[in-house]
Amino acid sequence: MDLSGTWHAAVGEGDLHQRFVEPDFDDRDWGEIQVPGHWRSAPDFAQADGPLLYRRRFAAPALEPGRRAFLELEGVFYFADVWFDAEYLAATEGYFFPHTLEVSNPLRARADHTVAIEVGCPPQTDRTAKRLITGVFSHWDNLDPQWNPGGLWRPVRVRETGPVRLACLRCVCTEATEERGRLRLDVTLDAGDEPRAAPLVARLVARVTGPVPADAVLAEATREVTLAAGDNQLEWTLDVDHPPRWWPRRLGDQPRCALEVTVEVGGEPSDWQTLHTALREVRWRRWRLHVNGEPMFVMGSNQGPTRMQLGEATAEELRRDVQLALDANLDLLRLHAHVSRPELYDAADEAGLLLWQDFPLQWGYAFGVRKPAVRQARAMVDLLGHHPSIVLWCAHNEPLAVDVQPGERLPARKLMRTAASMLLPTWNKNVLDHSVTRALHRADPSRAVDPHSGVLPGLGSPGTDTHFYFGWYHGSLDGLASALRAVPRLARFVTEFGAQAVPESAEFMEPERWPALDWDRLLDRHACQKVFFDRHVPPADYATFDDWRRATQEYQAALVQLQVEDLRRLKYAPTGGFCHFCFADGHPAVTWSVLDHRRAEKLGYRALREACRPVLPMLEPREGLVHVVSEERVPLIGAVVAVTAGGRTLGRWEGDVAADAVTYIGRVGPDGAEAAETSPEITVTLDHHAVGRVENRYSAHLLESVRSTARR
């Protein structure tokens, strides 16, 4: 029974939270609110920070003997106290996974029922010591800091079972060779607390069919278990001979399977669950990904929530983001410090887009968060472990206990605290992250876990993936390559780099006020960092808003092109891949994204798409070096590469391009270098019958940025 729809709600004030639970409580004067949804989307609660009291009346037929019923809350932001017919059921914590509470007795006793839920999502006043495990929703410069995501943001249901409930079904693929696939199931059976004269015996039936939508039986097994009262946990392994293996889109097809597990009592089904999964094997070695034994250089981008109001994003919008990533020639999206909606994971599985899944920890947390974080890490694997698209878990993004405004001049104490958080042992890195990492490893032995993203080598940490913002927060647009040459260890996997650009959908900026924009509001609510625009693309240099917007997008595009190519030139030596920052906005904002909140393209989207093509001829503009990087699995024999500028050929070569590698082609000579110095644009082309003609253009904006750095 789906209880989604219109509920009644009121802000919890005074003793209202004590009285509203009674079935005969008069809520006719309360506001209306939609479930699922976020309370701030309702006009009556647009400025509320909660707690909010929710009520819903419904009728249901009497529960038959031997049957049980459960109230399922699929998603609550963030705390909840739950009553059913004035009976207190439980307190819940955690936004992204379901909470299930038994309501069998009241459904046996009466036909009319009342659900009353107090939901709390308090703002985090000390953002260096947060207490809510909500990731970007509580603290991120790409979202409006005044937004409160609180509410019943996923559906609410009442579900019936027999005497035994399948309380949890965790599925991960631990092996997928050509000869054998292996699924590890962790099953929890809830036998209830009612006293019984004899032990309760249940029969488990597991069946794997596929590839979806076909119904061939790939594996089938049964198991009898004697159950104690309460929860009973067991581990089960299913083997599939000669499995249909799932591949990333670039490497092959995506055959998926249906796993159905049924628990029978007395020969009758008591409960069941079906998951769509796949057989594939992922391994990381020195930050290099191998899928089913095949090495793969990973090209990706960071993605925040599809909408800031994630519960109100449509299935089409979630699937569109997956397709837009594939259209940009990306292999992977990193789901940045949040857990998204089921539709996104299903779309990624179907399309062959890889996902890097962050646990929703971002920056600094308080001591008391460790135990709930460990519980919720296990719940994340329960919820998502069966998705073949997920290739890595990450426990924490940038575990720095700091709260710094962009461009803020730090006092000495704050500066020392920031440096210490990065380089020295801290509670966040060495206690919280260690505990979450261990919980993820134990729940899922099939995938690697990044304990924290963006941590440099220091005392207590060997360092992980790295975040660089050359050309934005520090240094120049072309500074990434020299930094990676100086410290190659930092090039293993770069997961943040980029620059802000003004979006096409910019009504929120009030461009008619140009040049007197409300810069304080744009920083506070829409992430626009004017202090860094003043450094790289000063608004004062442009007569119109449109001219400035175009210049910011050209700058972002040049940075994306150059830095992606710098990383691709280091393919496997030592770089295993990258995640650009970032992909698409979840609300009106001026950010590092290449797609705005309406998915209108910035020039950076095209630059990202072109720079991530499977075969790419490249010019290293600082030294005039020419390379071709290829993700193809076969060599390109007899390819022709040429460099031209202003109608003049600067160099031409013919030869073989190695498979899945970077091939050095040659160097533009002194005459060519002189011509390149004065040319407004340079083009590098590759011709080969297997891939056709591939052109790579270097704009005047990019070339001038590199030249000006060289002159300095």
Give residue 703's pLDDT.
87
Give residue 675's pLDDT.
56
Cβ-proximal residues to 232 (8 Å cutoff; 6+ apart), any chain: 188, 189, 190, 191, 225
Give residue 704's pLDDT.
83
Count other C-beta atoms under 10 Å from residue 374's C-beta. 17
Q: Is residue 415 over pLDDT 70? A: no
pLDDT in tens, 349-405: 999 999 999 999 999 999 999 999 999 999 999 999 999 999 999 999 999 888 877
What span, in angstroms and rounded, lies between the C-alpha atoms of 186 and 170?
5
Give residue 401's pLDDT.
85
In order, the DSSP letters of 111-145 are: SEEEEEEEEE----S-TTSB----GGGTS-TTS-T
Give residue 496's pLDDT.
97
What span, in angstroms and rounded, lies between the C-alpha atoms of 673 and 669?
6
What span, in angstroms and rounded, lies between the C-alpha atoms of 395 and 400?
13
Residues 400, 414 contacting (CB under 8 angstroms): no
- Topology match between the domains 165-277 and 625-711: yes
Cβ-proximal residues to 298 (8 Å cutoff; 6+ apart), any chain: 289, 331, 332, 354, 493, 576, 577, 578
Q: Is residue 656 over pLDDT 70? A: yes
Q: Is residue 678 over pLDDT 70? A: no
Give residue 444's pLDDT.
98
Residue from 680, 621, 677, 671 nearest 646 by CA: 680
What span, in angstroms and rounded, lies between the C-alpha atoms of 122 and 565?
43
Place of tokens 């308090």: 122
Q: Is residue 619 over pLDDT 80? A: yes
- CATH code of the domain made up of 5-161: 2.60.120.260
- pLDDT above 90: percentage of residues in the chain: 87
Give residue 708's pLDDT.
73
**Confidence grade of residue 414 (pLDDT, cut at 50, 70, 90):** low
- pLDDT above 70: percentage of residues in the chain: 95
pLDDT in tens, 589-610: 999 999 999 999 999 999 999 9
Q: Which CATH class is domain 165-277?
A: mainly beta
Q: Which CATH class is domain 625-711?
A: mainly beta
In order, the DSSP letters of 638-700 are: EEEEEEEETTEEEEEEEEEE-TTEEEEEEE--HHHHHHHHH-S-EEEEEEETTTEEEEEEE-H
Hey, where are the domains in the chain? 5-161, 165-277, 291-614, 625-711
The CATH superfamily holding the domain 291-614 is Glycosidases (3.20.20.80)
DSSP 412: H
Instruction: Among 57-66, 251-260, 326-335, name the one with the lowest average pLDDT.
Output: 57-66
pLDDT in tens, 113-139: 999 999 999 999 999 999 999 999 999
**Confidence grade of residue 423 (pLDDT, cut at 50, 70, 90):** confident
**Confidence grade of residue 56 (pLDDT, cut at 50, 70, 90):** very high
What span, in angstroms and rounded, lies between the C-alpha atoms of 517 and 533?
13
Q: pTM above 0.85?
A: yes
Give residue 196's pLDDT.
79
Q: Is residue 311 over pLDDT 70? A: yes
For the chain, what is the radius of gyration of the CA atoms?
28
Give residue 671's pLDDT.
54
Convert 161-172 to b/e letters by CB count within 10 Å (16 or more is b): bbbbbbbbbbbb
**What would the two tokens of residue 466 be?**
């790295």
pLDDT in tens, 249-301: 999 999 999 999 999 999 999 999 999 999 999 999 999 999 999 999 999 99
Q: Is residue 669 over pLDDT 80? A: no
Residue from 393, 361, 365, 568 nearest 481 by CA: 568
Q: Is residue 454 over pLDDT 80? A: yes
Place of tokens 């837009």: 324
**Confidence grade of residue 662 (pLDDT, cut at 50, 70, 90):** very high
Q: Is residue 162 over pLDDT 80? A: yes
How much is the mean pLDDT over the chain? 94
**Confidence grade of residue 525 (pLDDT, cut at 50, 70, 90):** very high
Whether the bond into 503 is cis, omega within 30 of 0? no
Instruction: Among 164-173, 338-347, 453-462, 479-488, name the one with the lowest average pLDDT.
Output: 453-462
Residue from 356, 346, 350, 342 nearest 311 by CA: 342
Residue from 189, 44, 233, 49 nearest 124 by CA: 49
